[in-house]
């Protein structure tokens, strides 16, 4: 059998008789003991042997035990060692406080009984052992959290590749009208579910980034009404397709806020999608927006009310917590990951706002209220130029993509728009083709075999300069991924699955 673990104790005392007695008591208690008679020797032995506990007399010939304890705590190598002060002279309450403030874990007055010493040592060792276990556990959780984030990023990339191919393919099919009612219905289903899957992937990654504090808002002074109108136009077909009526009450004057338009759209889209999801056919959804309060306390208030399944009173306090679900039925027919409202709350709070939920109970519907600070009074910003309608000029385009389905679907779509397209399935082939044919534009995936998209961009910038426009089309969609793409030389960064109309707008803008 293996020898049972024995804790090592450093016994520090300049009085040889007192040191001998304490060491014998500890050895009889089953501990390994090493000894020191000065403060400097104690610091050296502690760093060398890393004992589990230091029994430290306060009165030492070179430096006081208070200073020894303080230095032990200050060094990363010895900070986790337990320290027990002992003294026959420094025994007043203020001296005990001084010792504990210096870093000691306990304080014994000499002379002490053997049983008292052993019991105190055992108590301190138990506490230190528990602290070490907690530290190890915390390190394990940190490592697991990092691996989880890496897994989510890779999962998103792998999911976005097939989603990109499906979305591009349905974009091509939509350009060819069909008289077959069933086929048209199937196309609509594929399109809706593909967009739904893409949103689930985005929400999953966003909530992970937000909980780690890695989301930065791109703030600008903007009109909340424009965001609401955009979201309503997107959600209306879904709501009406489910047999719901959607009504909005919006003011005729702007509702200015300092916000990120993409994130605000995400907030209201999630809330309206939830309302539609949890309201049965024949139900009603109402959106009301207004400005409340005056001057510094003025707020833009958006209320989204539905006549759906409602929220039980015991669920209301936790409705914005991660993985909370209003649908408690076994079949969970409403779907969802339980992360949408957590994401919404965090995004609202990043904007300096608040969100609340109310419900009269099951079957009584629910209301979500978003409140955002009104932007300071400034001259209205110039409107953003609207992209032209129609298709962009015909261009020579190089497409570098290793996923065969995504590559073929995007090639067919670009050729349908009248562009001349050449394709490559890896980074080396893409770089060689770009140097040979000198395209106007290269659409480059990042996760390529051999030579990744970042290196392709850097090589092209070094060899061709600014005579080619580079667009990263990738499943890696975090802010750090966008920043890295721009640093590598890309002009734009687009996250898969790219919507055909967004790609066409980009080509027109270029």
Q: Is 156 a domain residue?
A: yes
Q: Over range 488-502, report the average pLDDT.
A: 87
450-474 per-position pLDDT tens digit: 899 999 999 999 998 888 999 999 8
Query: Is the domain of 274 the same as that of 403?
Result: no
- Say whether both 190 and 259 belong to one domain: no
Last-in-domain residue among 88, 112, 136: 112
Same domain as 348, residue 444: no
Domains: count for the chain: 3
Cβ partners under 8 Å of residue 337, min gap 6:
200, 203, 204, 323
pLDDT at 326 over 80: no
The confidence score (pLDDT) of residue 182 equals: 84
Residue 356's CATH number: 3.30.565.10
Specify if 105 maps to a domain.
yes
**183 and 163 share one domain:** yes
Same domain? 33 vs 97: yes
Q: Does the pLDDT value for residue 104 go beyond 70?
A: yes
Asked if residue 67 is part of any domain, the answer here is yes
DSSP letters, 332-389, are: -TT---S-HHHHHHHHHHHTT-EEEEE-SSTTS-EEEEEEEEBPP--PPPPPPPPPPS
pLDDT at 263 over 80: yes
Domain end position, chosen among 373, 399, 415: 373
Least confident of 256-260, 361-365, 374-378, 464-468: 374-378
Q: Is residue 277 part of a domain?
A: yes
Q: Does the pLDDT of residue 237 top 60, yes or no?
A: yes
Higher pLDDT: 119 or 326? It is 119
Asked whether residue 353 falls in the same domain as residue 243, the answer is: yes
Residues 351 and 274 in one domain: yes
Pair 229, 345 in one domain: yes
User: Could you tell me the residue range of the domain that residue 492 belongs to?
Assistant: 148-215+391-510
Q: Which long-range contacts (CB under 8 A, 24 or more apart) does 174-183 make?
A: 175/416
The beta strand positions in 119-255, using DSSP E, are: 220-223, 245-249
Asked whether residue 35 falls in the same domain as residue 153, the answer is no
* 386 within some domain: no
Whole-angstrom distance, CA of residue 303 vs CA of residue 174:
35
Let me know if residue 267 belongs to a domain. Answer: yes
Q: What's the pTM?
A: 0.51
pLDDT tens track for 357-368: 999 989 999 999
Same domain, 97 and 165: no
Let me know if residue 347 belongs to a domain.
Answer: yes
Claim to verify: residue 42 and residue 160 sit in the same structural domain:
no
DSSP symbol at 439: -
Does 408 lie in the same domain as 266? no
Domain boundary among 314, 347, 373: 373
Residue 407 in any domain: the answer is yes
pLDDT of 502 strictly over 90: no
In this predicted structure, the answer to whether residue 488 has a pLDDT above a threshold of 90 is: yes
- Region 171-184: mean pLDDT is 80
Q: Which residue has the higher pLDDT, 106 or 381?
A: 106
Is 340:316 a contact under the CB 8 Å cutoff? no
Q: Is 60 exceeded by the pLDDT of residue 416?
A: yes
Q: Residue 152's domain is classified under what CATH number?
A: 3.40.50.2300
| Mean pLDDT, rounded, of the chain | 85
Give residue-wise pLDDT tens across range 28-77: 999 999 999 999 999 999 999 999 999 999 999 999 999 999 999 999 88
Give the 3-state secondary structure of 288-311.
Answer: EEEEECCHHHCEEEEEEEECCCCC
């Amino acid at each position: 059998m293996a020898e049972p673990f024995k804790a090592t104790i450093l016994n520090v005392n300049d009085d040889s008789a007192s040191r001998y007695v304490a060491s014998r008591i500890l050895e009889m208690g089953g501990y390994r003991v090493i000894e020191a008679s000065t403060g400097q020797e104690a610091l050296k032995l502690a760093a060398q042997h890393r004992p589990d506990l230091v029994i430290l007399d306060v009165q030492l010939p070179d430096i006081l035990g208070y200073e020894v304890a303080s230095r032990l705590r200050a060094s990363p190598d010895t900070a986790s060692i337990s320290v027990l002060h002992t003294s026959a002279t420094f025994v007043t309450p203020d001296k005990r406080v001084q010792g504990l403030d210096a870093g000691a874990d306990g304080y014994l007055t000499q002379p002490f009984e053997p049983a008292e010493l052993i019991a105190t040592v055992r108590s301190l060792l138990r506490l230190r052992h528990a602290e070490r276990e907690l530290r190890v556990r915390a390190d394990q959780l940190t490592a697991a959290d990092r691996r989880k984030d890496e897994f989510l990023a890779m999962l998103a990339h792998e999911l976005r590749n097939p989603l990109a191919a499906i979305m591009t393919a349905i974009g091509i099919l939509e350009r060819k009208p069909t008289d077959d009612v069933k086929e048209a219905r199937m196309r609509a289903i594929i399109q809706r579910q593909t967009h739904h899957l893409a949103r689930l992937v985005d929400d999953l990654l966003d909530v992970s980034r937000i909980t780690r504090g890695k989301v930065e808002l791109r703030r600008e002074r903007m009109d909340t009404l424009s965001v609401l109108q955009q979201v309503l136009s997107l959600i209306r077909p879904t709501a009406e397709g489910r047999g719901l009526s959607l009504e909005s009450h919006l003011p005729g004057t702007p509702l200015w806020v300092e916000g990120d338009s993409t994130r605000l759209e995400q907030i209201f889209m999630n809330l309206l999608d939830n309302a539609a999801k949890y309201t049965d056919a024949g139900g009603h959804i109402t959106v009301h927006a207004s400005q409340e309060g005056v001057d510094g306390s003025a707020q833009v208030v958006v209320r989204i009310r539905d006549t759906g399944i409602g929220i039980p009173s015991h669920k209301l306090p936790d409705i914005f917590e991660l993985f909370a679900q209003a649908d408690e039925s076994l079949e969970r027919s409403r779907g969802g990951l339980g992360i949408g409202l957590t994401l919404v709350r965090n995004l609202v709070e990043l904007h300096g706002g608040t969100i609340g939920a109310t419900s009269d109970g099951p079957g009584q519907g629910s209301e979500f209220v978003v409140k955002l600070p009104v932007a300071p009074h400034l001259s209205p910003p110039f409107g953003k130029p609207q992209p032209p309608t129609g298709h962009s000029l015909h261009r020579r385009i190089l497409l570098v993509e290793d996923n065969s389905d995504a590559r073929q679907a995007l090639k067919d779509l670009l050729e349908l728009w009248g562009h001349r397209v050449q394709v490559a399935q890896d980074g080396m082939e893409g770089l060689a083709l770009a140097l040979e044919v000198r395209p106007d534009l290269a659409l480059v995936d990042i996760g390529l075999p051999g030579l990744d998209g970042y290196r392709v961009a850097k090589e092209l910038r070094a060899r061709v300069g600014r005579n080619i426009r580079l667009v990263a089309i990738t499943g890696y969609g975090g802010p750090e991924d966008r920043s890295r793409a721009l640093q590598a030389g890309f002009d734009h960064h687009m996250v898969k699955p790219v919507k055909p109309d967004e790609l066409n707008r980009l080509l027109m803008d270029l």
